[in-house]
Amino acid sequence: MSRLLSVEGLTTRFPLAGVHVPIVDESTFAIDRGEVLALVGESGCGKSMTALSIMRLVPKPGRIHSGRVELLGRDLLGLSVTEMRAVRGGRISMIFQEPMTSLNPVMRCGDQVVEAIRLHDEVSRKDALARCRELFVQVGIPDPDARLRAYPHQLSGGLKQRVMIAMALSTRPELLIADEPTTALDVTIQAQILRQLLELRREIGMSILLITHDLGIVNELADRVAVMYAGRIIEQGERTDVLGRALHPYTQGLLRSMPALATPGRRLPEIPGVVPSPAEWPMGCRFATRCQLAEDRCRREVPGATARSDNHVASCHAVEEGRAQAPAGGEPEGAAR
């Protein structure tokens, strides 16, 4: 498969309390054509900011500090504002995490999608509207004609999310960045949309950067998984490796705290402690304040990536030194239904 996107050493900083804090710190990953990469991790760890950096939509006062974001060999960070605008919504489109923030409240839903289509394709209004209606049906919006005329506030959370998905797919992008695309949807509609995404990937070779905290969805959709903690990618690999044989103590803790695997009435296993806020990130491994395996070296030195196989790496001293716990994963006792 050929490489579509490659992100290298991407660093995005925000001034916080007078210091420039790397909210996204030296992120490196790649996505091939037709591939689905899932980006998972703690709330606040920088997933959305990674996506916004790729789109060059980092909100002020944040700034991309360094790194490369190559789409088909072309560095997006070097493009002019106009060139970048053409890429956005054309080759790359994004489903934003909070649908209300990206839908225009005073414009009818249908008009918004039609406008998005016509911004990138020279089609008549009538054709754009027909395409829009078809998309509404594909993402499972009941009564599509009425919804074309509805304003965003008249729609439920999940309907707004589906309008967003329709809008993002309307230009048949090569890369879809989907930030928590199905959080507001019940599982039956979610299943329908996930199938739709896989369909498009088969049909037009669309690649997906999928941001989600739902490991069930990761398992359904992803080819590879990258796990982020406090601004850094700390583990990366094939889906079956990361979910089934996780190496990093954080990933292992994440998999253990899934409610789907817990016994009702019993306390959920937690990762002890609090995620440090960006201004207080420890200097060595950022997970060291919460890690049961942390030793002095962890608190001093940033762990480098240790490869367990060509396709599975983790940044952890314990993994490197061979004192990590046995790989843990979602091997379920009665978990799968």
Partner 1 sequence: MSTNASGPLLRVERLRTWFPINRGLMRRAVGHVQAVTDVHLSVEAGRTLALVGESGCGKTTVGRSILRLEQAQAGRVIFDGVDLLELDAAAMRPYRQRLQIVFQDPLASLNPRMRVRDIVAEGMRSFGIGSDESDRTDRVAHLFERVQLDAAQMWRYPHEFSGGQRQRICIARALAVDPQLIICDEAVSALDVSIQAQILNLLRELQDELGLAYLFITHDLGVVRYLAHDVAVMYLGQIVESGPTAQIFESPSHPYTQGLLQAVPSVDPQRRGGAPPLSGDVPSPSAPPGGCYFHTRCPLVMDRCRSEPPPVASQGAVSARCFLAPGSGSE
Ligand X SMILES: Nc1ncnc2c1ncn2[C@@H]1O[C@H](COP(=O)(O)OP(=O)(O)OP(=O)(O)O)[C@@H](O)[C@H]1O
Query: Which residues contact ligand X by CB under 6 A?
Result: 14, 23, 43-49, 59, 97, 154-159, 184, 278
Name 101's Cβ contacts closer than 8 Å, sequence gap at least 6: none
Residues in 218-237 at the binding interface with ligand SF4, rule: CB under 6 A: none
Q: Is 180 in the site for partner 1 (CB under 8 A)?
A: yes
Smallest distance from partner 1 to CB 143, Å = 3
Please give the size of the binding site for ligand SF4, defined by CB under 6 A: 14
Rounded distance between C-alpha atoms, residue 239 and residue 223, angstroms: 6
Rounded distance between C-alpha atoms, residue 117 and residue 39, angstroms: 28
Reduced to 3 states (helix: H, G, I; strand: E, B; else coil), residue 153 is helix
Q: Is 57 in the site for Mg ion (CB under 5 A)?
A: no
Smallest distance from ligand X to CB 181, Å = 13
Task: Find which of ligand SF4, ligand X, Mg ion, none residue 163 binds, CB within 5 to 8 Å per kind.
Answer: none
Task: Find which of Mg ion, partner 1, ligand SF4, none residue 244 binds, CB within 5 to 8 Å per kind.
Answer: partner 1
Please give the sequence-ordered ranges of beta strands (E in DSSP) within 183-270, or none if there are none.
207-211, 224-229, 232-238
Q: Is 317 in the site for ligand SF4 (CB under 6 A)?
A: yes
Structure tokens at 119: 């911004």
Q: Is 9 in the site for partner 1 (CB under 8 A)?
A: no
Structure tokens at 302: 């940033």
Q: Is 271 in the site for ligand SF4 (CB under 6 A)?
A: no
73 — alpha (psi -120 to 50), left (phi > 0) or beta?
left
Q: Is 294 in the site for ligand SF4 (CB under 6 A)?
A: yes
Other C-beta atoms within 10 Å of 71: how many? Answer: 20
Smallest distance from ligand SF4 to CB 235, Å = 10
Task: Find which of partner 1, ligand X, ligand SF4, none residue 303 binds, CB within 5 to 8 Å per kind.
Answer: ligand SF4
Q: Is 293 in the site for ligand SF4 (CB under 6 A)?
A: yes
Rounded distance between C-alpha atoms, residue 210 and residue 47, angstroms: 10
Q: Is 287 in the site for ligand SF4 (CB under 6 A)?
A: yes
- DSSP 8-class letter at 104: -
Residue 286 has phi, psi (to 5 degrees) of -75, -10
In the chain, how long is the greatest CA-to-CA distance?
66
Helical pair 125-138 and 157-169, crossing angle rounded to 10 deg: 130
Stretch that binds Mg ion, among 52-60, 63-71, 93-101, 290-298 (CB under 5 A): 93-101
* Residue from the set 51, 298, 313, 328 that interacts with ligand SF4 by CB under 6 A: 298
- DSSP 8-class letter at 61: T
Smallest distance from ligand SF4 to CB 43, Å = 19
Q: Is 217 in the site for partner 1 (CB under 8 A)?
A: yes
